[in-house]
Amino acid sequence: MSWIIEEKGFNKNNIELNGNKFMLGNGYMGYRGTLEEFGKDRLVACNLLGLYDRVGDKWREPVNAPNGFYTRLSCDDEQLGLPVSQTTGHRQSLDIYSGLHKRESTFTTSAGNGVSIETERFLGLSDVHLMCMKYSLKAAGSCRIVIETGIDGEVWDINGPHLKDMRPAVKQELIVLNSVTGELGCPVSVAEGLDIPFAAHMDIKMEDRCILRCISFEAQPGESYTFYKYVAVYTGNDIDRTESPTAVSGAAEEACLAAKGRGYIQLAAENAALWEERWKMSDVKIHGDEDAQKALRYSIYHLLSIAPSHSDRASIPARGLSGQVYKGAIFWDTEMFMLPFFLYTNPGIARNLMRYRVHTLDGARRKAAEYGYRGAYYAWESQDTGDDACTHFNVTDVFTGRPMRTYFRDKQIHISTDVVYGIWQYYRLTGDESILLEGGAEVILECSRFLISYAYFKKDKNRYEILDVTGPDEYHERVNNNAFTNMMVKHTLEVAVKTLELLKSKHAAAYEKLMAELDFNPELDALREMNDLLYIPQPDGRSLVIEQFDGYHRLEDISLQELKGRIINPNEYLGGGNGIAATTKILKQADTVLMLNLFKDRYPHEVKKANWEYYEPRTEHGSSLSPCVYALLAADTGNPEWAYKYFLKTATIDLTGESKQYAGTIYIGGTHPAANGGAWMAAILGFGGVGFDGSAVAINPKLPSAWSSLEFKLNLKGQLYTVVIDKTSVTIKSRPENTAGIDFSVAGKLLSCKAGGSISSGYNQNNL
């Protein structure tokens, strides 16, 4: 069943992996797939989006809330729980269709009694502060059961502890754990209510950073005992800062009581319905390939569970909500790898993601100024303020234990172009000009201004060049004229010109206001000149290969295998000052190939093919962002079987856990939303061959041989479509509620699809 992820039997070595694999999320928070009795040493985390804290001089990272699901069990004074106790059966599962985590374990006591528990839990979609759990127990023989359940304030932290002044309290029928973050004193409150429909003795136990209810009763043989927990999490980010200090706690208590009032069964049913609603728009059906179907749905599940539908003040971190890895920071991953999924299926969330960049523009301005530039230089690792969480020493040298100077923060200037790319994609695909009027245009102009102030002019070649950058291939730092970066800069300048034209012609007042506020008139000549004279590395006349950056072709050309043979320490970083890849042609991840994929309409088939074939054997895929790009361009250039190989790699990453766990000595495990987004892109934009430029939708299918058909939904300018692609034809159905038609081009054949109508067209994959 492709909707159920499960693991039978308990394997201690999988605790960390399963924390990622069985994760729940609702965009507000992520709850790791850990077991109820686990503590912080098993990486339990209720990871909060957009709330950060810093301890001492360690790096800032997101805050994990106290664990409201914490529950431990004893039978006749014997603790029962994993990984210590014996089990005769254990199963952990995730129903991704309903966003439901389940767990079943049967323990055997030392006296031979069998005690089984079953739990079920979910995070609220309509009320994102809510976490609910159902807990059932059955014993084979009569015994005395004590269940301690409540809120555990001892949470997993990489650079914690982040919560201080922890105050457990009882508020009528609720228990509450209030605390504040150490750096900014932001309140974090967790409240819990319990429904216990059987007779039991109840006590409350308060510890320093924990509050627990002790439920004790005599269990009868074969009798089932079930109770329900309602947990609400609120932080100072969620309420008006002018409210009273107890408002956060009050909100949590109120949400808790409201949930309890409605009851678990109803809440679970409503939640499942909301998940179903999401899937209606997001699901992709692959016929003929169960493995691909499951992996792709699982990838989509992760994207759905971390999407911030509730807020435009936060975006999706590089490891989603699976923990504090990568500082909970937002990278270019969001714009370049996750955004397309939302753009094509849920533009509202895409808008939130781009609005986050508008809100963090001032941080980008501060970063530009810090390095002596004008305009906006976005953070490589962005948190709540937009200031850069990335340091100049982002890797530890495994040979000396010293921090290693890296150039992610100060040289990866493409981040500003990525943000503009994202905003422009949003505008083009949705036609929603409000994103430009509400800050998007300002971001575009300020990023252009940054690039103008960054660029140099080479007089004897009469061209602008982009020097001293790090492109996507981070193994080669501080290079000149990185083809990807230069092209993205060009795109930004083009977008700036178009934005100015659009505003001037359609929103004259807004145009004048913005030009005045930004004092942008003096930049106009430079903007146009640089747009005209920017150097874009071109394909070589004979090989058609585009040199990744100036001098790349002079680097040592060795095989990946030979490079790996030189590795001394398995965790050594291959880039950086003395990295072994840095002096070779081996790249960390798609770089020129990514550029060709983003701008595939500007390059002929032969160039894309030649570059794919040249760079593919030289790519180490040291980043989880890489395989999907190779899948996309392979599909585009008519090689779906190669594309399929890379699609599977990107789609299964969080199922198998086969990804880098360390960069130098830094743990980088967790979920991989960019790869998840890459899986969707590879399927729909790659195999489906879908491309939308804001006017017509092109569909040029390249199904892999294993797939008999591919079915998916599209939301294009608010119009909803179902597309079914089989081996020979494409069928497009316009939903009855649609209000406008749209043009499609299937394998080059133009077709109009009226609102509520349906069109179908044959194609021959070999001719594409």
Tokens of 722: 């179902």
* Spatial distance between the Cα atoms of 518 and 178, rounded to a whole number of angstroms: 44
Q: Name the residue nearer to a copy of itself (CB basis): 160 or 664.
A: 664
What is the size of the binding site for a copy of itself (CB under 8 A)?
33
Sole binder of a copy of itself in the list 393, 599, 662, 667 (CB under 8 A): 393
Does 332 belong to an annotated binding site?
Answer: yes
Residue 553, CA distances (Å) to 405, 540, 581, 597, 607 in order: 25, 11, 14, 21, 17
Task: State the binding string over 341-380 for a copy of itself (x if CB under 8 A, else -).
Answer: -------------------------------x-x------
Least Å distance between CB 300 and a copy of itself?
42
Structure tokens at 100: 């439901």
The reply, when asked if residue 588 is annotated as ligand binding, is yes
Of the ranges 15-23, 197-205, 461-469, 604-612, which one interacts with a copy of itself (CB under 8 A)? 461-469
Cis peptide before 83 (omega within 30 of 0): yes
* Four-residue CA torsion sign, 23, 659, 53, 307: negative
C-beta of 688: minimal distance to a copy of itself in Å?
43
Q: Please select the residue that binds a copy of itself; options are 397, 446, 547, 591, rule is CB under 8 A.
A: 397
> Is position 458 an interface residue for a copy of itself (rule: CB under 8 A)?
yes
Nearer to a copy of itself, 21 or 449 (CB): 449
User: Does the protein bind a copy of itself through residue 399 (CB under 8 A)?
Assistant: yes
| Shortest CB 371 distance to a copy of itself, Å | 8
Question: In sequence order, what E strands does 46-129 have?
Answer: 46-53, 61-65, 71-75, 78-80, 87-95, 100-108, 114-123
User: Which of 373, 402, 378, 374 lies closest to 390 in space, CA to CA?
Assistant: 378
Give the contacts of 7 (CB within 8 A, at least 6 positions apart). 14, 18, 21, 91, 92, 93
C-alpha 142/C-alpha 144 separation (Å) is 7
How many CB atoms sit inside 10 A of residue 282's CB? 22
Q: Write down the catalytic residue from 36, 37, 474, 572.
A: 474
Annotated binding residue at 333? yes
Does residue number 389 form part of the binding site for a copy of itself (CB under 8 A)?
A: no
Choices 85-93, 324-332, 391-399, 594-602; region in contact with a copy of itself by CB under 8 A: 391-399
Alpha carbon separation from 591 to 345, 353, 472, 616, 627 (Å, rounded):
27, 24, 5, 11, 11
Using CB under 8 A as the binding rule, whether residue 538 contacts a copy of itself is answered as: no
Q: What is the nearest approach in angstroms of a copy of itself to the Cβ of residue 483?
A: 16
- Tell me: does residue 465 bind a copy of itself (CB under 8 A): yes
Residue 225: in which H helix or E strand, if any?
A: strand 224-235
Positions in 545-604 near a copy of itself (CB under 8 A): 550, 566, 568, 576-580, 582-583
Strands 742-746 and 696-699, bridge-based pairing: parallel
- Judged by beta carbon, residue 400 or residue 764, the one nearer a copy of itself is 400
Shortest Cβ 159–a copy of itself spacing (Å) = 21
Q: Does 238 engage in binding with a copy of itself (CB under 8 A)?
A: no
What's the closest the beta carbon of residue 496 comes to a copy of itself, in angstroms? 16
Give the residue with the Cβ less far from a copy of itself, 313 or 405: 405
| Residue 474 known to be catalytic | yes
Choose between 255 and 395: whose C-beta lies nearer to a copy of itself: 395
Residue 86 among known ligand-binding residues? no
Burial class (CB in 10 A: 0-12, 13-18, 19+), 545: middle
CA 54 to chain centre: 22
Q: Which helix (H) or strand (E) holds 384?
A: none
- Residues in contact with a copy of itself, shown as a per-residue x/- string from 475 to 494 under the rule CB under 8 A: ---x-x--------------
Do residues 451 and 417 make contact, with C-beta atoms less than 8 angstroms apart? yes
Question: Burial code of 206-236, b = ≥16 C-beta within 10 A, e = fewer?
Answer: eeebbbbbbbebebeeeeebbbbbbbbbbbb
Beta bridge partners of 465: 456
Which residues are known binding-site members for substrate?
Answer: 332-333, 588-589
Q: Which chain residues interact with a copy of itself by CB under 8 A? A: 372, 374, 392-393, 397, 399-400, 402, 404-405, 452-453, 456-460, 465, 467-468, 478, 480, 526, 550, 566, 568, 576-580, 582-583
Q: Catalytic residues, which ones? A: 474
